[in-house]
Amino acid sequence: MYDDNHLAHRLARAGRAAAVFATRPGLPDMTYGELFQGAERIAAALRAAGLAPGDRVAVQVEKSLEAVQLYLGTVIAGGVFLPLNPAYTVREVAYFLSDATPRVVVCDPAREAEIAPLSDGASVFTLAADGTGNLSSAAAAQAPGIAAVPRGAGDLAAILYTSGTTGRSKGAMLSHGNLASNSETLRDVWRFTDRDVLIHALPIFHTHGLFVATNVALLAGAAVHFLPKFDADAIIAALPASTALMGVPTFYTRLLDHPGLTREAAAHMRLFVSGSAPLLVDTHAQWEARTGHRILERYGMTETNMNTSNPYEGERRPGTVGFPLPGVELRIMDGEREVAQGEIGVIEVRGPNVFQGYWQMPEKTAEELRPDGWFITGDQGYLDADGYVTIVGRAKDMVISGGFNVYPKEVETLIDAVPGVRESAVIGAPHPDLGEAVVAVVVRDDDSVTAARITEALSEELARFKQPRYIAFLPELPRNTMGKVQKKALREDYGAVFG
Helix axes 7-15, 32-48, angle to 10 degrees: 150
Rounded CA separation 86/412 (Å): 22
Judged by CB under 6 A, the stretch of 10-18, 60-68, 168-176, 202-210 that binds ligand MLC is 202-210
Burial of 5 (0-12, 13-18, 19+ CB in 10 A): middle
Judged by beta carbon distances under 5 to 8 A according to partner kind, the member of ligand AMP, ligand MLC, none in contact with residue 249 is none
The contact mask relative to ligand MLC for 436-475 (x = CB under 6 A, - = no) is ----------------------------xx----------
Is there binding between residue 99 and ligand AMP (CB under 6 A)?
no
Site string for ligand AMP, 200-239 (x = CB under 6 A): -------x--------------------------------
Residue 268's identity, in one-letter code, is H
- List 293, 364, 394, 469, residue binding ligand AMP (CB under 6 A): 394
- 232 burial via Cβ count (<10 Å: 0-12, 13-18, 19+): middle
Query: Where in 302-331 is the site for ligand MLC (CB under 6 A)?
Result: 302
Instruction: Output 60 or 302, the one with its CB closest to ligand AMP.
Output: 302
- Quick note: the x/- pattern for ligand MLC over 162-201, rule CB under 6 A, is ----------------------------------------
Asked whether position 401 contacts ligand AMP by CB under 6 A, the answer is: no
Q: What angle do CA 363, 366, 369 make, to 5 degrees?
A: 145
**For ligand MLC, which residue of 226, 401, 449, 494 counts as binding (CB under 6 A)?**
401
Q: What are the phi and psi torsion angles at 298 (to 5°)?
A: -130, 170
Q: Could you tell me which of 475, 407, 415 has the C-alpha nearest to residue 440?
A: 415
According to the binding rule CB under 6 A, does residue 278 interact with ligand AMP?
Answer: yes
Side-chain-facing half-sphere of 71: CA atoms under 13 Å: 31
For ligand MLC, which residue of 22, 202, 220, 325 counts as binding (CB under 6 A)?
A: 202
- Binding region for ligand MLC (CB under 6 A) out of 31-39, 118-126, 128-136, 398-406: 398-406
- Which one of ligand MLC, ligand AMP, none interacts with residue 209, CB within 5 to 8 A by kind? ligand MLC
Contact between 391 and ligand AMP per CB under 6 A: yes
User: How far apart (Å, rounded) are the C-alpha atoms in residues 71 and 106?
Assistant: 11
From ligand AMP, ligand MLC, none, interface partner of 202 (C-beta below 5 to 8 A by class): ligand MLC
What are the two backbone dihedrals, phi and then psi, of residue 398, each rounded to the nearest 5 degrees?
-150, 145
Q: Which of 243, 305, 377, 424 binds ligand AMP (CB under 6 A)?
A: 377
Question: Which of 175, 185, 183 minimizes the C-alpha distance to 209?
Answer: 183
Residues 296 to 335 in contact with ligand AMP, rule: CB under 6 A: 297, 299-302, 321
Q: How many CA atoms lie within 13 A of 106 on its CB side?
A: 34
Judged by CB, which is closer to ligand MLC: 59, or 138? 59
Per-residue burial over 83-119, b if 16 or more Cβ lie within 10 Å, else e, is bbebebbeebbeebbebbebbbbbbbbeebeebeebb
Nearer to ligand MLC, 123 or 214 (CB): 214
As a whole number of angstroms, the distance between CA 184 and CA 203 comes to: 21
Partner in contact with 297, chosen from ligand AMP, ligand MLC, none, beta carbon below 5 to 8 Å by kind = ligand AMP
**DSSP structure class, residue 347:** E
CA distance 493 to 430: 12
- Under rule CB under 6 A, how many of the chain's residues touch ligand AMP? 18
Please report whether residue 203 would count as binding ligand MLC according to CB under 6 A. yes
Size of site (CB under 6 A) for ligand MLC: 22
* Shortest distance, position 375 Cβ to ligand AMP, whole Å: 10
**437-452 per-residue burial string, b: 16 or more CB within 10 A, e: under 16:** bbbbbbebeeeebeee
455 part of the interface to ligand AMP, by CB under 6 A: no
Tell me the C-alpha distance between 87 and 363, whole Å: 29
Closest CA to 187 of 195, 229, 59, 443: 195
Q: Which residues bind ligand AMP (CB under 6 A)?
A: 162, 207, 275-278, 297, 299-302, 321, 377, 379, 391, 394, 400, 405
Q: Which residues bind ligand MLC (CB under 6 A)?
A: 202-203, 206-209, 229-230, 248, 250, 275-276, 300-302, 401-404, 434, 464-465
